[in-house]
A and B are shown apart, each in its own frame.
Chain A
Amino acid sequence: MTKVFSGRNPVSPRNGVSEASSKEKVGRRSFLKALAAAVTAAAALRLSQRATKASEPVGSSPHKWAMVIDQGKCVGCGYCTLACRAHNDAPPSISWNKVIPAGKVGNREVFLPRPCQHCEHAPCVEVCMVGASYHRADGIVMMDYDKCIGCRYCEVACPYGARAFNWEAFTGPNPVVPMWGEPEVERRPRGVPEKCSFCYQRIDRGLALGLKPGVDPEATPACVVACPMKARAFGDLNDPESEVSRLLAAHSSYRLREDLGTAPRVYYLPARQEVSG
């Protein structure tokens, strides 16, 4: 059932599970968790181990993953969408990573690729009643597909339309997955919303193998690797030498709907009149 990219994956590939992070100390919220465990019945106690896959204080990890998308380079080819769908086994009706036409600059068509924004103050995490949407310490907004009850509150709360609900079961082979490869994560069941995870499985496995996300392709989100125009960069904002840090220091950038205070971890470099090759 569980599909693994390669045989050497040391990290549990189940969606939403990160063995490494679940053992870390949690702060103020741990009190409420303890209260929850004390009050709920035997069934709750049996499942409390699963309940530990919950939000962790963002920033308690050495990493702070972010993506930079250069709209000056993006040509709207949609490779990122397909690579994402293949690696994450998303159904044809769902795009975790949409490429949206965004008008023109000069004579040039401009596009806005839109993955999950991995907001630091994510509305979906705040509103999820069961805590199925949660923050990892490195800032990635995760979905625990085993916990979600499918109420879709996150969907109405997300300002970016980053979530897509599985209205029906996706069965059969995925048309975008090539013969020679396999998706890296388990397919989501009917009745839960799904979204981009910054390819956390690639990051975690890469780190375990001593690779550097954003530098080594095996440890970098699929959309970044697949982009033929090199319009996307991924890396650690805590590392001043990472490509994302250098790009953000050298160029003016913006984030989507900054007025909402969601503090996305996806930055855009706007397209300019004269585009260098």
Chain B
Amino acid sequence: MMKNIRGRGKGAQLRAPTITLFQWWLAVLAVVMVLGAGAGLVVFAKGLVVTNLTDLVPWGLWITLDLSSIAMSAGAFLLCAAVYLLGLKEFQPVARTATFVGLIGYSMAMLCLLLDIGRPDRFWHAWVFWNPHSVLWEVTMCITLYFTVLVLETAPIVGQAGWMQRRWPRLAQTLVSVHHYAPVFAVIGLGLSLLHQSSLGATYGVLKARPIWSRPDLSVLFIASAMAGGPSLVVFVSMLTARLTRQAHIKDELLEKLSLFIGWVLVGYLYFRFWDAFSMTYTYLPGRTEGLTLLTSGELAFNFWVGEILLGAAIPIILLLTARLRRIPLLRMIALALVVGGVVAYRWDTNLVGQLVMLTYLPQEIAARYTDYVPSLIEFLSGAGIVAYGLLAFTLGARYLNIVDHRAVPEAEHEARLAAAAGD
């Protein structure tokens, strides 16, 4: 289908159908964003009573979207580390895409949090009042600092844009010069991201009140799944963009190598998942055993077996680690999309399972009680609005900032300029 679109554009030499497709896409995004903004205003005006959240399930759809957005940003730190710390220079253009995706992901996460907190007018309290004992304090610091790093890492991308250099050459030059510090940002970004991705797992893992969450390995599973999901999204959107617009240029061998890497990360992730789940089946622990049952044969079983394990890990592992299958672009794209879906499903299940099972505190019976949660329409609409914002930001980036362009070698350009400057 994607090939069709491309083929038609080439064959007929008509710009009109392409433009229409683009405009349609923008129109759909605009509608969803307007609906989302409206829903968001309702939330701010009426408060969280418009959600289906309760005192038993106080964290729902928005938190899942927040966790997923952060996980999907993991490509940025991985690729920047690969390029600037491991010296895999050929991946530099992919790192550009990943950085931009990361910036979008982090901004989406912050929008989710703004919706989710009961007092959005006090969001700045998170920076002013500190409780360093809290995992969420550390999460706040990581979000803030890493978002700053991502902005700095994206500055050269904006500076390199043709329209930027024509219109504001001075500013563009300044922005491009920030690239000089890319290795420093890569080190800082690596540290902050490892901390942040893991501590989101630890946010749940440290809670003794919820035995299914209270496992130290949640932090490992969060970083491992993010290391698979983040790059998957980057490779997927790169391939998709290259099929939808002639403005994007990809080097398929780079994306293929990266996909192989993702396949192996998934193997490691599945390995951890297996022992994590297997160890929980041994002794009966009130709350934890019920939670595991909920995942494996209860309400969340379809999400777990099909969404997380089969489609989210097992099938992508086969598709990405078998060279013959991986080289078929469509199959590779399907595999990568499945990985993204699997990571989102994992975040959703993890967040929900600890809240759907609640332990009683009556001394004679520490027993599990069950509750339910289905997001309200307002939650869905505002969440969809945030996703639409992310898609729009990427679309505009691909069109006006050449986010997906594997021909550009800014590294060489920059070095040449430095050499020229040194020569003067």
Contacts and interface: CB of A to CB of B under 8 A. Distances in A.
Interface of A: 32-33, 36, 40, 43-44, 47, 51, 54, 100, 102-103, 112, 114, 123, 125-132, 147-153, 155-161, 163-169, 189-193, 254, 256-257, 260-262, 268, 270
A151 B129 contact: no
26 contacts: A40-B127, A43-B128, A102-B362, A123-B207, A123-B208, A127-B136, A127-B206, A129-B131, A129-B139, A131-B129, A149-B117, A149-B119, A156-B58, A156-B59, A156-B354, A160-B361, A163-B55, A165-B55, A165-B118, A167-B53, A168-B49, A190-B47, A192-B118, A192-B119, A193-B118, A260-B209
Contacts of B58: 152, 155-156, 165
A155 B56 CA distance: 8
Task: In the A-B complex, list the 6 residue pairs whose CB atoms are closest, starting with the nearest.
Answer: A150-B118, A191-B118, A159-B209, A168-B49, A129-B136, A152-B58
A169 to B, nearest CB: 7
Contacts of A165: 48, 55, 58, 118
B118 A47 contact: no
Contact of A256 (B131, B140, B361): B361
Given A147-B125, A161-B55, A163-B55, A123 B209 contact: yes
Contacts of A47: 128-129
B59 A152 contact: yes
Nearest to A126: B133
B124 interface: yes
A39 to B, nearest CB: 9
B15 interface: no
Contacts of A169: 47
Given A156-B355, A260-B208, A260-B209, A191 B47 contact: yes
B288 interface: no
A254 B363 contact: yes
A159 B49 CA distance: 23
A32 to B, nearest CB: 5
B368 interface: no
Contacts of B59: 152, 156
Interface in B117-173: 117-119, 122-137, 139-140
B46 A168 contact: yes
B129 A51 contact: yes
B138 to A, nearest CB: 9
A135 to B, nearest CB: 11
A156 B129 contact: no
B210 interface: yes
Given A156-B207, A160-B361, A191-B119, 18 more contacts: A43-B124, A44-B127, A47-B129, A51-B128, A112-B362, A130-B125, A147-B125, A148-B119, A150-B117, A153-B136, A156-B59, A167-B48, A167-B49, A167-B53, A168-B49, A169-B47, A190-B47, A254-B363
Nearest to A100: B362
Q: Is the interface of A mostly helix, strand, loop or mixed?
A: loop
Contacts of B55: 155, 161, 163-165
B175 to A, nearest CB: 25
A122 to B, nearest CB: 11
A151 B140 CA distance: 12
Given A47-B128, A131-B130, A150-B119, A157 B207 contact: yes
B359 interface: yes
Contacts of B131: 54, 128-131
B188 to A, nearest CB: 17
B28 interface: no
B306 interface: no
A191 B206 CA distance: 24
A240 B38 CA distance: 61
Interface in B326-372: 354-355, 358-359, 361-366
B134 A128 contact: yes
B45 to A, nearest CB: 11
B308 interface: no
Contacts of B365: 103
Interface string B196-213: 000000010011111000
A156 B364 contact: no
B366 A147 contact: no
B116 interface: yes
A254 to B, nearest CB: 6
Contacts of A152: 58-59, 118
B143 to A, nearest CB: 11
Nearest to A51: B129
Contact of B134 (A51, A54, A129, A156): A129
A268 B361 CA distance: 13
Contacts of B139: 129
Contacts of B124: 43
B128 A151 contact: no
Interface in B12-59: 46-49, 51, 53, 55-56, 58-59
A149 B362 contact: no
Nearest to A167: B49
